[in-house]
A and B are shown apart, each in its own frame.
Chain A
Amino acid sequence: MAETHVGLKKLQENFPASILGVRHFRGEVTVTVPKQELLQICQYLYSNPDLEYHWLTDLCGLDFFPQKPRFEVVYLLYSVKNNERLRLKAKVGERESVSSVESIWKAANWLEREVYDLFGIPFENHPDLRRILLWDGFEGHPLRKDFPVEGPDFDKPFVPEV
């Protein structure tokens, strides 16, 4: 598996110091990288002519509360050229930010807004970082593990102030 995955091989050749961990599971490759180098690695994966990861299929967050650092931001990249997917992960602590990849993939615009909305992870240099699914003024970030599934006022109707 490791031999046939072009993206992983190239990363190991060019960024040997930045790979914090590699996991193979059910034929999928997950690479953990430091968040400071994320943008640089993404740029490399996007523009290298042998890789051409031109698709950002998905971008989401994970919350490992109460571990520290608690968050992970997960990027799922896809290259039509090699027909392979690569999952990048970066660990993020509470009140830390990640650099936005919106400059590479426009798809990241709304996906990063969603992670910001539901996890509260801010993205640096994002052109329009606002909440996307919840309304402005909502308190808390629902997909955090310490956010209750059922709040004390869950059966009361919500009437926003106009």
Chain B
Amino acid sequence: MAEKRLMTLNMGPQHPATHGVLRLILELDGEIIVKATPHLGHLHRGVEKLAESKTYAQVIPLTDRLDYTNAMGNNLAYVLAVEKLLGMEVPRRAQVLRVIMAELQRIAAHLIWLGTHALDIGAMTLLFYNFREREDILRIFEEVAGGRLTPTYLRIGGVAKDLTEEMKDPIKTFLEAFPRRIKEYETLLTQNVIWLKRTKGVGIISKEDVINWGVTGPTLRGSGVKWDVRKAFPYSGYEEFDFDIPTGTVGDVYDRYIVRLREMEWSSSIVEQALEHLPDGPIITDHPGVTLPPKDAVQKDIAALIRQFKVVSEGFRPPEGEVYASVEASKGELGFYVVSDGSNHPFRVRIRPPSFLNLSALPKMVEGRLIADVIAVIGSIDIVLGEIDR
């Protein structure tokens, strides 16, 4: 009898289906995966180290670049942590604006996921549709914040710019069309035989396992755990919105797909509710040591000019302490653990990246399955390496 040996296959880091620079070492018995070992760090930029040498406000642009498909959500998680550290209240209007932007961003992030995931499995058409809708959202961001991919829209204590009445129109137009768009996507995939064969029963992970591996987000809910940070620890006024948490039953690739589609519908419903009940008022708190003075005051009033200079150059000194704040980002629970030693720059900014822990469960999902399933599973857990490697 011939000697039986395993074959080692190196997948990535430059591979279109690994969604960035993930490298997988696959040990194969024929086409069956015996062992999968992810290798990370190709995109490591030392964000946590870098944050320690910046003022609190200067860290916000760094967070945009973690999960670059979910910049608004990243901003939100960080500013929530700093506001908690300061014990600061945020005006109602700013909170609702944050919810609108975070939910639009969730839709945009899920659209990228859907397009690339379907492309990986072989359905190319969807990518063009998804990027068409995503473009609408990015245009809205550009109008509101000035940036598309990395808007840096949130500020400690509020948001950077107000949403004017004219800017509401493109959002309303988008929301009107979007439910119909989702139906379009569904006609292409939900009952497509090839799609079902590639996703049903693939990459199954049980309820107990997802919790034990620290998996969060749609991957957690796909396995039937009804848990969402927006419901468990409501932030930014989420308790006032009416929405449900979609869950799956089996925990396979298909369930995660359905969960994300339903999430997009709920997100668009949340934005609709938020637009309807957008309160009037200031968009940022007036805290002399922390927030900037109004721009026109800076040009006329010397005290305001001094305040602007002090806030920008020195920053502020929060009390000594440590806080953890998390949001439901598009990939899962994104948390910021900020430790202050009382100086004007953070002592430690620890980022709890959802994709990092979601990816750690990948070997569990693919071992014993075919190579082709790896592609489907990576797509379904929706990793972004910018966040994993930081």
Contact = CB atoms under 8 A, between A and B. Distances in A.
Interface of A: 25-26, 28, 30, 54-58, 60, 62-63, 74, 76, 80, 83, 85, 87, 105-107, 109-111, 118, 131-135, 142-143, 147, 149
Which 6 residue pairs are nearest across A and B when measured between Cβ atoms? A107-B214, A133-B41, A110-B360, A25-B321, A58-B352, A60-B350
Contact of A149 (B49, B84, B335): B49
A41 to B, nearest CB: 18
Contacts of B153: none
B85 interface: yes
A143 B211 contact: no
Interface of B, helix, strand, loop or mixed by DSSP: mixed
A57 B323 contact: no
A54 B216 CA distance: 13
Contact of B213 (A30, A58, A106, A142): A106
Contacts of B232: 80, 83
A107 B212 contact: yes
B212 A57 contact: no
Interface residues of B, number: 39
A25 B81 CA distance: 13
Contact of A26 (B48, B53, B85, B339): B85
Contacts of B52: 149
A58 B356 contact: no
A111 B351 CA distance: 12
A54 B214 contact: no
12 contacts: A26-B321, A57-B333, A76-B337, A83-B232, A107-B357, A109-B360, A110-B357, A133-B40, A133-B41, A134-B41, A135-B41, A142-B46
A130 B15 CA distance: 24
Given A57-B214, A57-B333, A143 B339 contact: no
Contacts, number: 87
B62 to A, nearest CB: 13
A143 B49 contact: yes
For B209, B214, B232, B347, the residue with the greatest tally of chain A CB atoms inside 10 Å of its CB is: B214
Contacts of B324: 28, 58, 76, 85, 87
B335 A57 contact: yes
Contacts of A54: 211-212
B356 A110 contact: yes
Given A54-B212, A80-B227, 15 more contacts: A25-B322, A26-B87, A58-B352, A60-B350, A60-B352, A74-B350, A83-B232, A105-B214, A106-B212, A106-B361, A107-B213, A133-B41, A133-B44, A135-B41, A149-B50
Contacts of A57: 214, 326, 333, 335, 352
Given A26-B85, A28-B323, A135-B41, A55 B211 contact: yes
Given A26-B321, A55-B214, A58-B337, A143 B48 contact: yes
Interface string B34-57: 000000110010101110110000
B46 to A, nearest CB: 6
Contact of B40 (A63, A80, A132): A132
B389 interface: yes
A106 to B, nearest CB: 5
Contacts of B227: 80
B369 interface: no
B345 to A, nearest CB: 12
A58 B335 contact: yes
Contact of B339 (A62, A105, A111, A135): A62
A96 B70 CA distance: 38
Contacts of B44: 133-134
Contacts of A62: 339, 347-348
A55 B209 CA distance: 11
Contacts of B333: 57
A86 to B, nearest CB: 11
Nearest to B361: A106
A80 B227 CA distance: 9
Contacts of B214: 55-57, 105-107, 111
A83 B232 CA distance: 7
B35 to A, nearest CB: 12
Contacts of B85: 26
A136 to B, nearest CB: 10
A8 to B, nearest CB: 16
Given A105-B212, A143-B49, A132 B337 contact: no
